[in-house]
Each structure stands twice: as C-alpha cells, then as structure tokens.
Structure 1
Amino acid sequence: MDFHIWEGGSVRLRPIQPSDWEKFHQDGMDSEIARLNDAIYGPRSEEGTKRWTERESEKGWDGHNFRLAIENLKGELVGSISTNNCDPQNGTFSYGVSIFREHWKNGYASDSIRVVLRYFFGELRYQKVNAHVYSFNEGSIKLHERLGFVNEGRLRNMAYTNGRYHDVLIFGLTYEEYLES
C-alpha cells in the first residue's frame, strides 16, 4: 500500500464534491448532531444544501483553513473535518469534526483528527492545536482524552441549548505531546 498524507488507517480525506449534498442534507436534519457540533439552525432546503456543497467544492486551497470530506476506505462518505483559527505566526490552530450518525463508533473521528495533526505538525510546523468541546458532549471529551489532549480549562455558561447553559471545555495538544502519543 502506498502512503498518502491524507489517508489514515480507516479514512481518507478529500475535497467536498457537489454530489455529496444528499448525505450532508440528511445529516443536517439530525438535531442531536447539530447540537453536538455547533447549534441548531433552521431547516435548509435541498436546493440550499446543493448550493452549500457547490460552494464548498469550489473553495480554493490555502493550506491552512479548510473543510474536507471524510470517507472510509471503502469510499463511503462518513463525515467532514474542518480547520479554523489557523495562526501560522504563533503556530496554533483549531478544528471541528463531524461523523454521520450511522458511522459513529468506528474510529473515523479519531483517525481523521490524526491525519490533520500529521499535516499541521509534520508539514506546516504548527506547534499547538486547540479543541473546544461542549461539556455535554461526552463522546468528544473521551475522544480528546484518548488522543492525548490536555483539558486546559473551562469557559462557563458559554453555550445555550436544549433549555439550559453549558460550559465549553478547552483541550490542547502540543507538538511534543503529539510526538509522545
């Protein structure tokens, strides 16, 4: 097997394609996933989702801030991962990952994160990654702990959803910690 930087043990990261719209549309109607990822927004039409995937597929590559589709090694679209708050001067970045419900518990999120970390730490010389996790997202908390992230703090009452306020936990991983994991 040839090594490809955008491939892990169970996933391959690739650009979002216009033909991906249906899976993203179906995922967008899942309120629990929306709440875990960000927030619950109003319903989006099929045409709206098609336009979104078109725009995502046409975005240029700047090497730092991006959104990529996650597919398993059988070629099935299983989710997406995006990077943000990329600061090349200070060497810090953040990311978000979302796996479609029917593909939960297959290791796709952790494998996707490892691929992104390998790129940012090994190719771009970044030295730290941060992840913000809602305190009610137990799966994401456990995922980051398994990946070796350190819980660096708590921002209290930062997210309002499902009738109450929740904290945001700040997880971080340095380049040196990444090498040890």
Structure 2
Amino acid sequence: MYTGRLVRLRRVDPVRDLEDRYRWMNDPAVTDTLGMRPGRLSREEIRQYLELSASSTQSHVEWAIEALENGKHIGGCTLRNFNHVARSAELAILIGEGEYRGKGYGTDAVRLLVQVGFEQFNLNRIWLIVNAENAAGIRAYEKAGFVREGLLRSYGYINGRYYDALIMAILRDEYRAGKGRCA
C-alpha cells in the first residue's frame, strides 16, 4: 500500500472492486477517455481481468485508488508493458468517480505510481498514451512531471470519429531532479 496527499494505492481486490469497475466501464465519461465504447466489457470479463491483475505478473501490476478522506474506491492505475532490458513501463490510470475528477486525486495517484515505478521497480522511463483531447488528464500528467514526446495521429476511433493521442513520458533523471516527486 502506498499513500500520498489525497489518495492511497492498494492492491486490487476482485470481489471488492468488481461492481465499481463494472459501473465505470459503462460510463461514457470514463470510457471516452479510454477510447472504448461503454458496455464493451461484461461483468465476467472485468472479474477475470481483476483476478489476473490481483495476481500481478512481471509485465502488469495494478492498484485500486482510494480517497484518503473516506476510503472510497475512486479509480485504478497500473504499470504494464514492462521492458526489463530498457527498464521502462507504461502507466495507465482512470478516475471512475466523477466527483473526484479535476481535484488533484489523479495527479496524486500518478505521482505515487511514478514514485513506485522508479523506487520499487528501478525503472528508467515511464510512458503513457493519452487522448489528445483529454485536457484534464494531460494537465495531471504534466503536473506529475511527464513531458510530451510525440503525437499519434488518428490513433483511435470513438463516437463516430478518429482522435489523436499523445505519447508522454518521465525519465528517472527528471524524477530525481524533483520534476515528478510527491508534494
């Protein structure tokens, strides 16, 4: 378990987290930022995913995000697609509970996950892909020290149109220089 200013990261629990995840995967406000259609995943598929995530592998580690003030499960985050030679991994996050978006909870979770990536997993680079129209997400990543590295044109298709995505990353040296440290 890891604790920041606003959130705590705990290991996923397939039983405890299932209904929240299922609800979030049926919420267009969540799925649009992920480039998915709402309802694409069944309750059973989400349960299987959570069970796999709870067992963590060398290529995928997932946490549930809880608000410190009340212990509410508000989202999830993961380090995945580990490249053990290059010491890099992809970061992904979702804040499923709407009332917690845009209030620093996502930024705090990203900062914690970056800290875990560099200090626990000895990574050199943490990267992510974000919908170029997801201004709140981009702002949270930049506050956590990520920089824009490139643009993936027509990366995904949602709601009847293509969207571009940004590749963003933070390097270990940037983190050490204080760019991504937890405040």
* Whole-angstrom CA distance in 2 between matches of 1:98 and 1:50: 15
Partner in structure 2 of residue 154 of structure 1: 151
Partner in structure 2 of residue 28 of structure 1: 25
- Within 5 Å, give how 1:123-138 maps onto structure 2: 123-138=120-135
Return the match for 1:113 from 94, 110, 113: 110
Whether the 8 Å CA contact 1:24–1:49 is kept in 2: the answer is: no
* Whole-angstrom CA distance in 2 between matches of 1:64 and 1:49: 19
TM-score normalized by the length of structure 2: 0.85
Whether the 8 Å CA contact 2:78–2:92 is kept in 1: the answer is: yes
Superimposed CA distance per residue, residues 77-119 of structure 1 (whole angstroms, 9 cap, x where no aligned partner): 0100011111121111111100022321231211111111111
Whether the 8 Å CA contact 2:5–2:108 is kept in 1: the answer is: yes
Partner in structure 1 of residue 167 of structure 2: 170
TM-score normalized by the length of structure 1: 0.86
Residue 91, structure 1, aligned to residue 92, structure 2: no
* Whole-angstrom CA distance in 2 between matches of 1:15 and 1:130: 21
- Count, aligned residues: 175
Aligned identity (percent) is 27
* Whole-angstrom CA distance in 2 between matches of 1:95 and 1:127: 13
Return the match for 1:69 from 48, 64, 67: 64
* Whole-angstrom CA distance in 2 between matches of 1:89 and 1:43: 34
Whether the 8 Å CA contact 1:16–1:53 is kept in 2: the answer is: no
Partner in structure 2 of residue 7 of structure 1: 3
Structure 1 counterpart SS, 2:60: coil
The code of the aligned residue for 1:79 comes to G
The code of the aligned residue for 1:118 comes to Q
Query: Considering only aligned residues, what root-mean-square deviation do their CA atoms show, in Å?
Result: 2.1
Structure 2 counterpart SS, 1:71: strand
User: Between Structure 1 and Structure 2, whose CA radius of gyration is higher?
Assistant: 1
Structure 1: 5+ residue runs without aligned partners? Answer: none
Structure 2: 5+ residue runs without aligned partners? Answer: none
Whether the 8 Å CA contact 1:25–1:49 is kept in 2: the answer is: no
Partner in structure 2 of residue 40 of structure 1: 37
Partner in structure 1 of residue 75 of structure 2: 79
Provide closer, same or farther for how the CA distance between residues 51 and 122 of structure 1 changes in structure 2, counting only shifts above 3 A.
closer
- Within 5 Å, give how 1:42-57 maps onto structure 2: 42=39, 44=41, 47-48=43-44, 51-52=47-48, 55-56=51-52
